Amino acid sequence: MPSPKAKSSSPRSGSVPALSSNGRYEFLSLSRSPPPHLLQRQGSDPTSARLRASESPTRRRGSGSSNASSSSASGAPPLPEEDCMRLNPSVLGIALSSLLAVDLWLSKRLGVCACEDSAWGSVRPLMKLIEVSGHGIPWIAGAVYCLYKSDSAAGQEVMLNLLFALLLDVVLVGVVKAVVRRRRPSHNRMDMFATFSVDRYSFPSGHATRAAMCARFLLAHLVLAAPLRVLVLLWAVLVGLSRVMLGRHNVTDVAFGFGMGYCQYNLVQGLWLSPAGLHGLLGLLG
């Protein structure tokens, strides 16, 4: 039967047996240097023994993990999740970027009257005259004058709602421009007639919204002959085209302005004012 000492001296994990000078086996840990008498028996120096001990699987695994951690620490950090998402943009983002690029390119090509030395620089004075015809100040002044000079209730009602539509257009366009804050094209010259602080922004075109709304208003509430109706439509189109040719707006600014002005007329029709209703409203406010 084995003695308790034999049991207690059983080899532990991570140790190797070696023959000592007195003829007994001793178990040496791989993580420690062997005794000098064993080194002399094996005919090696302490340095080589330490190197052999350091080449154990445990040391190799530890050194591999430390090298991996150091390389990960010294190397480039992994891309964050948001950067990975940017590398795979959505279809909507690609479509909007492409639309913006086409809009800028087409607006640059159509800005043939942006300055005197442009391709159509000689037509610039005519385009500026069309620009003034779509400005808000002449239209508001004309609506006030016609309202004052009108001697019929029907005429006063029409002019009153036209004035209301023009003021509503100024407010809505100013709010949208202040929210979007899109800069005007780079080839634009800020020599416009009677500009305000919000006019440094480009989206949407106030001239386009006013032209579309006034064209619908005049065609719906004024009895005009067929040639005059064609001239009204042609004037609205020329106003929008002049904004791009002068370099004032991009194509999308004018297109959105036409759509916004078309919808503004529906809003004016829903909020139609009558002289009696206006007098009652003024009485309540007073």
- pLDDT tens digit sequence for 241-281: 999 999 999 999 999 999 999 999 999 999 888 767 666 65
Name the average pLDDT for the chain: 76
CATH class as words, domain 103-285: mainly alpha
DSSP secondary structure code for residue 13 in this structure? T
Read off the pLDDT of each residue in 23-44 and give the average, rounded to a whole number. 51
Give catalytic residue positions: 207, 249
What distance in Å separates the CA atoms of residue 198 and residue 181, rounded to the nearest whole number? 9
What distance in Å separates the CA atoms of residue 272 and residue 155, rounded to the nearest whole number? 14
Q: Residue 17: in which H helix or E strand, if any?
A: strand 15-19
What distance in Å separates the CA atoms of residue 271 and residue 264, rounded to the nearest whole number? 11
What distance in Å separates the CA atoms of residue 257 and residue 214, rounded to the nearest whole number? 13
Read off the pLDDT of each residue in 195-200 and give the average, rounded to a whole number. 80
Tell me the pTM. Answer: 0.65
Indicate the domain borders of the chain. Answer: 14-55, 103-285
What pLDDT does 71 receive?
45
User: Among the residues of the chain, which ranges form H helices?
Assistant: 4-8, 36-42, 46-54, 57-74, 81-87, 91-110, 124-133, 136-149, 153-180, 206-221, 226-245, 251-270, 275-285
Which one, of 161, 144, 285, lies nearest residue 213 by Cα?
A: 161
Amino acid at 57: P
More reliable by pLDDT, 204 or 68? 204
On the question of pLDDT at 224 being above 90, the answer is no
8 A C-beta contact, residue 15 and residue 27: yes
Task: Indicate the length of the chain as a whole number.
Answer: 286
What pLDDT does 44 receive?
47
Burial zone of 198 (CB within 10 Å; 0-12 exposed, 13-18 middle, 19+ buried): middle
What distance in Å separates the CA atoms of residue 49 and residue 16, rounded to the nearest whole number? 13
More reliable by pLDDT, 33 or 154? 154
Read off the pLDDT of each residue in 79-83 and give the average, rounded to a whole number. 51
